[in-house]
Amino acid sequence: MLAACYPRLVRALIVGDSPPLSGHVLSAHARIFQNAFGRAHEPSSSSASHEESATPWPERPAGDVPPLGARARLGKKVEVSRLRAKHLEHLDPEVLATVFDQGRMNQGYNAHVLLPAIRCPVLLLQADPEAGGLTPHEEIAPALALLPRGKHVFLKGVSHAWLHDQPEQGRKAIADFLTAV
């Protein structure tokens, strides 16, 4: 919203696999996040160690979305759970609370008003929905039509955790974008 409301303050904007039109994650992804990370905003978890918080990932129902990138990359549930616990230890629990409360997270977000107001170049990095990316294909073309200076890069085979899964692919897209700016 900063780039739309204060365009002189922002020279370029990079949106990393965040749905530009709906502004929220799909319900299946939200369910996975809540199952996987829900303990992070429980009062008892703030004092838990990595080992105590490293509960295994919940099993996914048949036909649910693919595993998140770290799980697919590491393979072992215990290792991913430890990684998750390590990262959550440094996260403000309110961050996840807003993700779980879609209304609060998207308060004031109207893509049809905000996106056309963004005057700087915008890079939409889209992770692959088939690999666990959050941005649906059908949001890209309408978003680009609303953005005066929008560019899109699709990260094939890469999940929402693109920076961990295949950092070079994302870094190259960002470097190319910033070089052109």
Domain range summary for the chain, segments of one domain joined by +: 2-23+109-180, 27-100
Are 135 and 141 in contact, with CB atoms under 8 Å apart?
A: no
152 SS3 class: strand
What does the mean pLDDT of the chain come to? 75
Q: pLDDT-derived band of residue 38, with 50, 70 and 90 as boundaries?
A: low
Report how far residue 103's alpha carbon sits from residue 98's, in angstroms, rounded to the nearest whole number: 8
Residues constituting the chain? 181
Q: Is the pLDDT of residue 146 over 50?
A: yes
pTM assigned to the model: 0.67
Higher pLDDT, 93 or 48: 93
Q: Answer with the residue of higher pLDDT: 103 or 109.
A: 109
Q: In terms of CATH architecture, what is 2-23+109-180? A: 3-Layer(aba) Sandwich (3.40)
Q: How far apart are CA 130 and CA 157, in angstroms?
A: 7
Alpha-carbon span 100 to 31, nearest angstrom = 9
Tell me the C-alpha distance between 25 and 107, whole Å.
14
